[in-house]
Amino acid sequence: MKRLLWIFPAAMVALAGCGGTSDGPSYLATNTLAGTAATGAIDGPAATATFDNPVNAEVGPDGTVYVADFYNGRIRKIKDGVVSTLVQAANFQRPFGLTIAPSGDLYVQTDANDSLERSSDTGTIWRVNTATGALTLVVRNVGRPRGLLALADGRIALSDIGRHQISLLDPTTGVITELAGKRGGIGYVNGTGLASRFYRPYGMAQLPNGDLLVADQYNYSIRRVTLAGVVTTYAGIGQKGSASGALTRARFMGPQDVAVDARGNVYVADTGGFRIRLIARGQVSNLAGDGIGGYREGFGTAARFYGIEGFDLTPDGSALIVADGTGGEVRPYNRVRRIQL
């Protein structure tokens, strides 16, 4: 989902103050970019527009924010303070995974296929023209690959939360090649290719050297995967918790997405803990959120989140754009949030 981004000096200053501490800087402001507590599908000014469980956000090169509006079955976009609908089609339902390819096309994963069948096997990948919203079906019924990451060579990495596997998709042919993890094989095993194991691998990002980072949700860890399929643990110990500190001692409550900046700083949507975590200089710290599910604007760990299932960095690396939805529950959380770094 996440591309490498250049960090401007303001963000560098912010990051310099938070490595190795338990709480992030108090001056990192979290506010609402778009949406309200209300459920709906209203386009228009960001402050009055409505969503129905926004689950993921991807930021384009020009700063346009694309949102997977899950229960509305739409891709929405936020540009210049206005929300509009980019994709709405009768055979396009339950979008989740998002990534923008080097070509500029937006790739979207939906849980339902184009016949509106929905199971753990009906995940479908679409290509979206961001100028027109035109949809092209790339491949259907490929599991539940909610994690998408466009690679520089045109392939798309897929992380499948139901098959517990990382694969590579050639979108020109629809051919999928297994990279790591055994289909259906749940576990927490480092190794190479099919010998490794995951437990609901979710969002992905790419380190400056090209390796993938994977939010391994129910292993409560961030895993590292080379493009040769070698899997190691990047952070976490495989046990649930919210401990900050060194990579080999830190714990996560249920990480669901990751983002990486050009300096190698890693941001983690620790969805189970209602926090945004930061990995920098070998340390895990809390960047934003107080660990209680809800909604509150604020600075650093005084802010409050609920869904935080997917996020992305802005092109200049100065902010995180967070889809802060309902987590699939009936809750008054239908916003897209912005964290100033």
> pLDDT tens across 306-318, in order?
999 999 999 999 9
Tell me what the mean pLDDT of segment 26-50 comes to.
95
Amino acid at site 62: D
35 burial level (CB within 10 Å; 0-12, 13-18, 19+)? buried
User: Does pLDDT of 328 surpass 70?
Assistant: yes
Q: Could you write out the three-class secondary structure of the chain?
A: CECCCCCCHHHHHHHHCCCCCCECCCCCEEEEEEEECCECCCCEECCCCCECCEEEEEECCCCCEEEEECCCCEEEEEECCEEEEEEECCCCCCEEEEEECCCCCEEEEECECCCCCECCCECEEEEECCCCCCEEEEECCCECCCEEEECCCCCEEEEECCCCEEEEEECCCCEEEEEECCCCCECCECEEHHHCEECCEEEEEECCCCCEEEEEHHHCEEEEECCCCEEEEEECCCCECCCCEECCCCCECCEEEEEECCCCCEEEEEHHHCEEEEEECCEEEEEECCCCCCCECEEHHHCECCCCCEEEECCCCCEEEEEECCCCCCCCCEEEEEEEC
- In sequence order, the β-bridge partners of residue 334 are 36
Confidence of residue 4 (pLDDT cuts 50, 70, 90): very low
pLDDT digits (tens, 9 = 90+) for 277-308: 999 999 999 999 999 999 999 999 999 999 99
Quick one: pLDDT band at residue 172, thresholds 50, 70, 90? very high
pLDDT in tens, 80-107: 999 999 999 999 999 999 999 999 999 9
What pLDDT does 67 receive? Answer: 98
Q: What is the pLDDT of residue 24?
A: 60
Q: What is the pLDDT of residue 262?
A: 86
Give the model's pLDDT for residue 13: 34
Instruction: Give pLDDT, residue 74.
Output: 98
Question: Over the chain, what is the mean pLDDT?
Answer: 93
pLDDT digits (tens, 9 = 90+) for 47-67: 999 999 999 999 999 999 999
Q: Tell me, what's the pLDDT at 7? A: 38
Of the candidate ranges 12-16, 193-197, 247-251, the one whose mean pLDDT is the lowest: 12-16
Nearest residue to 63 via CA among 80, 45, 88, 83? 80
* pLDDT of res. 26: 65
User: What pLDDT is attached to residue 49?
Assistant: 98
What does the pLDDT average to over 35-42?
A: 98
Q: How confident is the model at residue 3 (pLDDT cuts 50, 70, 90)?
A: very low
